[in-house]
């Protein structure tokens, strides 16, 4: 079980690191997906090893995947709009949202 | 008596119509509407009086107190509630007649007097408002309703004094009147609250008043404070300063408000609370009496030297109201045969005074209309030009001087009789004041109609008799003045409500008539001829006294000193400083502090999402570390 958790922890912190260091919004989105996938792995793993008779964790993972798919769609739509407006999707150029 | 509600509603309606829609009316139509509604009110008032006084008396020999309308507006406790309604008893019915008569005469008179003035519609609207409030005041069923209408009367008086609002002196006078009376009303309000708290009722009905028992210690205080309000409205010393200035308003307004109706509200108030004064606070009543006597003397002495004819009349009004207050103040019991005579005398004098003083003011208005000046120096010898005004003015002067058979003689005689019954000192004091009254009224009369004519002015603009719309009210009021003395007033109004047959006390009557005739002759001797060597000589001999009296004994200056030098400088200025520097400073500091802090931390909001997320992450980590360390 530890091996699975190590993989998911690495994925999780890789996601966090990418979220803070990438300058491209697409890359940030990919980092978020990494974080989500790490949690999905955790759901599946804990369900598999701790409660082998139950299925809630698996379903929750599926549920989360569906949510992340929808969220990705929305995020990409936002990015397209940003691109249309400022011809760019670099996050440092998105500093007009402070007022 | 259900129709009495119309007495209040009609003027209210005409006020609303003229006040809101006045500019769509032609001035003449506005005047007609106001006068029409008031004629109906007058008719209804006369009907009320007729029905009321012809109705059979109750078993005790009094007229029943009727209450055609009374609805509870704000209930507090079982007995303590604010009501609005109409109460008819002898004095309120008498006041209805007085107010509606004088008001109708003033409405008619204004038709011609105010012709062509800007704001004619507004003038009639305010007259209606005033009449409505005054009628509401006298028919009040409880002291709170009275207070309500009392303030309305004050407001409409303010509006009417300031009718010529482009004239600085009129504006100042209206403010002065409003502030002084409002200041006095503070005492009235505190008195009402004390009375309600300790007496347990606001109602005026005899039943409710007889129930007032609790707090007999506080009641004299409450009644005294109520009189402070009454003194403000009735211009008793030292709150009289607003009345002479109120003469800045149009003259018919002075006749209506500042001679006949509003200024007697204080007298009416004391008469309303009379049973309580007798039962709980006879000492307060006597103090009120002495205040009235002093005011009467004080005002009469000023009236002797004023040269503005309206000012003379104003001081004469103050003096006559002093007479009414004295008459109430000398009462010692409810029985008109044993010390309660003053109540009837006061109400009688209120009635007759309203008529002849309105006549005097309207006559003065007619004179001012003819010579376009208030000053006696612009007049003199007017008897040739204005015969009707002359005769009616003379009748009013004789009435106020107390010459039989005019009305003033009868009522003043009752007052003097009541004073002598109380104490000979009071009786003689009032007799002397009555003599002064006769003197200054005839000084005025001779100054206007006889004496030296101001040829220069009269040649440039020949004075002429006023039109019928102005002389008719004069003649009507003069007719009332001639016959009012023979009304069996005592049988209608008396302190305990039982019929009291007025009988003239021969010694008092003869003394007062003789003294009045002596002072009239004195005035004739001094003032009738074109030159006045005696008056000039006296004025020189007693220059300081003359000067002081012409300046109204510097009471206005005293007020000026107290308000400006003491109150403004010693109290208001420090308070203003405190407000500006400490209170404002504190809030300025708060605003400045917020602003400065915000300025410092505004850079934190950079718009960089990742920076926010990083801070968020740090926060989360810090929380986790804290939690780990805690557990």
DSSP letter string, B29-55: HHHHHHHHHHHHHHHHHHHHHHHHHHS
The answer to whether A72 touches A15, Cβ cutoff 8 Å, is no
pLDDT of residue B65: 82
Position with higher pLDDT, B523 vs A37: A37
For residue A79, give the 3-state DSSP assignment.
helix
Question: CA–CA separation, B164 vs B110, rounded Å?
Answer: 15
pLDDT bucket at B304, cuts 50 / 70 / 90: confident
Q: Name the residue facing B606 among A19, A20, A98 (closest C-beta).
A: A98
* B614/A92 CB distance under 8 A: no
pLDDT of residue B211: 67
Work out the average pLDDT over B1-14: 86
Question: CA–CA separation, B553 vs B238, rounded Å?
Answer: 11
Question: CA–CA separation, B532 vs B538, rounded Å?
Answer: 10
Inform me whether the pLDDT recorded for B203 exceeds 90: no
pLDDT of residue B559: 80
**B contact test, residue of A92, A93, A96, A99 with most B CBs within 10 A:** A92
pLDDT of residue B467: 82
What percent of chain B clears pLDDT 90, i.e. is strictly above it?
13
Q: What is the pTM of this model?
A: 0.78
Judged by a CB distance cut-off of 8 A, whether residue A87 touches chain B is: no
pLDDT bucket at B218, cuts 50 / 70 / 90: confident
Work out the average pLDDT over A47-75: 91
pLDDT of residue B546: 75
Q: Could you count the other beta carbons within 10 Å of the beta carbon of residue A17?
A: 12
Q: Which of B461, B613, B439 is nearest to B518 (CA)?
A: B439
Which residues face B428 on adjacent strands? none
Work out the average pLDDT over B577-599: 92
Inform me whether the pLDDT recorded for A99 exceeds 60: no
Angle subtended at Cα B570 by Cα B567 and Cα B576, rounded to the nearest 5 degrees: 90
pLDDT bucket at B255, cuts 50 / 70 / 90: confident
- Asked whether this complex has an ipTM greater than 0.85, the answer is no
pLDDT of residue B586: 93
Going by the DSSP 8-state scheme, the letter that residue A24 receives in this structure is B
Going by the DSSP 8-state scheme, the letter that residue A90 receives in this structure is B
* A20/B614 CB distance under 8 A: yes
- For residue B613, which residues of chain A lie inside 8 Å, CB to CB? 19-20
Identify the weakest region by mean pLDDT among A2-11, A45-54, B73-82: B73-82
The answer to whether A90 touches A24, Cβ cutoff 8 Å, is yes
- For residue B610, which residues of chain A lie inside 8 Å, CB to CB? 19-20, 28, 91
- Under 8 Å CB pairs connecting chains A and B tally to 24
pLDDT in tens, A28-55: 999 999 999 999 999 999 998 888 888 8
Q: Could you count the other beta carbons within 10 Å of the beta carbon of residue B11?
A: 27
pLDDT of residue B484: 84
Work out the average pLDDT over B498-516: 81
CA distance A36 to chain B (A): 16
Inform me whether the pLDDT recorded for B411 exceeds 90: no
Q: How many residues does chain B have?
A: 631
Inform me whether the pLDDT recorded for B33 exceeds 70: yes
Work out the average pLDDT over B443-462: 77
- For residue A98, which residues of chain B lie inside 8 Å, CB to CB? 605-607
pLDDT bucket at B212, cuts 50 / 70 / 90: low
Inform me whether the pLDDT recorded for B214 exceeds 80: no
pLDDT of residue B40: 92
Which residues face B84 on adjacent strands? B71
State chain B's mean pLDDT as an integer. Answer: 85
């Amino acid at each position: 079980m530890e091996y699975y958790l190590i993989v998911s922890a690495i994925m999780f912190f890789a996601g966090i690191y990418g979220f803070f260091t990438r300058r491209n919004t697409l890359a940030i989105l990919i980092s978020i997906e990494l974080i989500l996938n790490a949690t999905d792995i955790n759901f599946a793993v804990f369900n598999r090893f701790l409660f082998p008779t139950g299925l809630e964790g698996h379903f929750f993972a599926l549920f989360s995947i569906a949510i992340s798919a929808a969220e990705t769609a929305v995020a990409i739509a936002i990015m397209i709009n940003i691109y249309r407006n400022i011809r760019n999707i670099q996050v440092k150029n998105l500093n007009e949202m402070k007022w | 008596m259900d129709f009495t509600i119309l007495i209040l509603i009609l003027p209210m309606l005409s006020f609303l119509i003229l006040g809101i829609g006045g500019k769509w009316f032609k001035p003449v139509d506005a005047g007609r509407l106001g006068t029409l509604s008031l004629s109906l009110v007058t008719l209804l008032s006369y009907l009320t009086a007729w029905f009321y006084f012809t109705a059979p008396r109750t078993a005790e020999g009094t007229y029943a107190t009727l209450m055609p309308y009374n609805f509870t507006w704000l209930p507090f406790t079982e007995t303590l509630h604010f009501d609005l309604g109409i109460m008819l008893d002898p004095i309120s019915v008498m006041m209805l007649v007085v107010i509606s008569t004088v008001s109708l005469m003033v409405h008619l008179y204004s038709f011609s007097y105010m012709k062509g003035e800007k704001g004619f519609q507004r003038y009639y609207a305010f007259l209606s408002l005033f009449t409505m409030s005054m009628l509401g005041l006298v028919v009040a069923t409880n002291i709170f309703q009275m207070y309500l209408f009392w303030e309305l009367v004050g407001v409409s008086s303010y509006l009417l004094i300031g009718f010529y609002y482009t004239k600085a002196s009129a504006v100042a006078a209206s403010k002065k009147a409003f502030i002084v009376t409002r200041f006095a009303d503070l005492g009235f309000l505190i008195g009402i609250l004390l009375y309600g708290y300790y007496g347990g009722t606001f109602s005026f009905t005899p039943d409710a008043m007889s129930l007032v028992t609790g707090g007999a210690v506080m009641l004299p205080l409450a009644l005294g404070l109520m009189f402070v309000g009454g003194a403000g409205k009735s211009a008793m010393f030292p709150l009289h300063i607003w009345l002479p200035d109120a003469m800045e308003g149009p003259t018919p307004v002075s006749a209506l408000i500042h001679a006949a109706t509003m200024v007697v509200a204080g007298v009416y108030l004391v008469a309303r609370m009379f049973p309580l004064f007798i039962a709980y606070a006879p000492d307060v009543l006597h103090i009120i009496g002495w205040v009235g006597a002093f005011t009467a003397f004080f005002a009469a002495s000023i009236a002797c030297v004023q040269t503005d004819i309206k000012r003379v009349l104003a001081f004469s009004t103050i003096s006559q109201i002093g007479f009414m207050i004295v008459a109430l103040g000398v009462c010692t019991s409810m029985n008109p045969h044993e010390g309660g005579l003053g109540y009837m005398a006061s109400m009688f004098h209120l009635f007759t005074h309203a008529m002849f003083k309105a006549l005097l003011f309207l006559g003065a208005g007619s004179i001012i209309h003819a010579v376009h000046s208030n000053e006696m120096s612009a007049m003199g010898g007017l008897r040739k030009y204005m015969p009707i005004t002359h005769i009616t003015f003379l009748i009013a002067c004789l009435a106020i001087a107390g010459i039989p058979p005019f009305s003033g003689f009868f009522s003043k005689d009752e007052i003097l009789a009541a004073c002598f019954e109380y104490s000979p000192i009071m009786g003689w004091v009032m007799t002397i004041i009555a003599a002064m009254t006769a003197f200054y009224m005839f000084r005025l009369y001779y100054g206007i109609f006889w004496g030296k004519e101001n040829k220069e002015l009269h040649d440039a603009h020949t004075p002429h008799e006023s039109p019928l719309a102005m002389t008719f009210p004069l003649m009507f009021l003069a007719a009332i003045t001639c016959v009012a003395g023979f009304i069996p007033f005592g049988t209608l109004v008396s302190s305990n409500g039982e019929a009291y047959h007025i009988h003239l006390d021969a010694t008092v009557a003869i003394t007062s008539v003789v003294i009045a005739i002596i002072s009239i002759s004195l005035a004739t001797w001094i003032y009738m001829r074109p030159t006045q060597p005696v008056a000039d000589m006296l004025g020189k001999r007693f220059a300081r006294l003359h000067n002081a009296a012409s300046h109204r004994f510097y009471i206005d200056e005293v007020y000026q000193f107290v308000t400006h030098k003491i109150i403004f400088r010693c109290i208001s200025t420090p308070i203003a400083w405190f407000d500006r520097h400490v209170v404002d400073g504190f809030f300025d500091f708060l605003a400045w502090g917020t602003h400065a802090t915000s300025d410092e931390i505004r850079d934190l909001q950079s718009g960089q999402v990742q920076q926010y997320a990083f801070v968020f992450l740090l926060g989360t980590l810090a929380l986790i570390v804290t939690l780990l360390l805690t557990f």
